[in-house]
């Protein structure tokens, strides 16, 4: 798939870049995408939730009243789950939500997500650029010139660039990652995927490896 390269002002440079079919033109596998996104979201969970059971509640173990003859239900101590302030039955306990996926499946999921973006013409390829300093207005101008202001955008850089990353942090719906950090969830969550010509080469090398 051939895409026109534009500069940061949104104007075509006359150059074209070939998006490899092995990455941007595969038959999407929805189940692989589902599993990869599920794993990503599971890995974001801290799993530090905790409720006290009756053996962890501070309180007396005295039997509240005699077993029979009161006309009411039998009752043990005040720490019973039946009473206000008592322990919780089967409450949440700290746990690890992460799970393992094979590398090939994760690779297929990313390729499927990128292929969906290419199929829907939601990929913009920029010529390589950098900012001289950290200024939010520089990044705001970039997305405005590309006519993607107000949309969720994901800019994928070939390597870390602090000036570009810090310039984008205060802009709503804008995210900047490196090619090595690219994941299925971010690709699908973005309305427009912004790549540089060098990023395309980096992705090609990464998937080939």
For 151-206, what is each residue's pLDDT tens digit? 999 999 999 999 999 999 999 999 999 999 999 999 999 999 999 999 999 999 99
Phi, psi of 41 (to 5 degrees): -70, -35
Question: What is the helix (H) or strand (E) element at residue 196, kind and residue range?
Answer: strand 192-196
CA angle 81, 85, 88 (to 5 degrees): 40
Q: Residue 120 in contact with residue 190, Cβ under 8 Å?
A: no
Q: Residue 111 in contact with residue 23, Cβ under 8 Å?
A: yes
Phi, psi of 16 (to 5 degrees): -130, 150
- Residue 124's beta-bridge partner residues? 194
pLDDT of res. 116: 96
The Cα 168–Cα 137 span in angstroms is 9
62-72 tens-digit pLDDT: 999 999 999 99
pLDDT of res. 62: 95
Q: Residue 121, CB half-sphere, CA atoms under 13 Å: how many?
A: 1
| Complete domains list, the chain, with CATH | 2-45+98-208 (3.40.1370.10), 48-96 (no CATH)
């Amino acid at each position: 798939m051939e895409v026109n390269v534009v500069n940061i002002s949104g104007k075509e440079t006359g150059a074209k870049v070939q998006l490899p079919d092995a990455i941007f033109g595969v038959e999407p596998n929805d189940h692989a995408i589902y599993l990869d996104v599920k794993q990503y979201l599971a890995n974001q969970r801290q799993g530090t939730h905790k409720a006290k059971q009756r053996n962890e509640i501070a309180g007396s173990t005295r039997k509240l009243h005699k077993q029979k003859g009161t006309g009411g239900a039998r009752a043990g101590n005040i720490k019973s789950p039946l009473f206000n302030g008592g322990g919780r039955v089967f409450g949440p306990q700290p746990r690890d939500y992460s799970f393992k996926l094979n590398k090939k499946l994760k690779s297929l999921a990313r390729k499927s997500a990128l292929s969906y973006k290419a199929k829907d013409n939601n990929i913009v390829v920029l010529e390589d650029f950098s900012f001289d300093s950290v200024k939010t207005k520089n990044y705001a101008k970039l997305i405005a010139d590309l006519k993607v202001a107000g949309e969720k955008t994901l800019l994928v850089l070939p390597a870390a660039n602090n000036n570009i990353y810090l310039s984008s942090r205060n802009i709503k719906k804008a995210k900047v990652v490196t090619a090595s950090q690219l994941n299925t969830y971010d690709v699908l969550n973005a309305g427009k995927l912004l790549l540089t010509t060098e990023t395309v080469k980096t992705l090609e090398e990464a998937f080939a490896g």
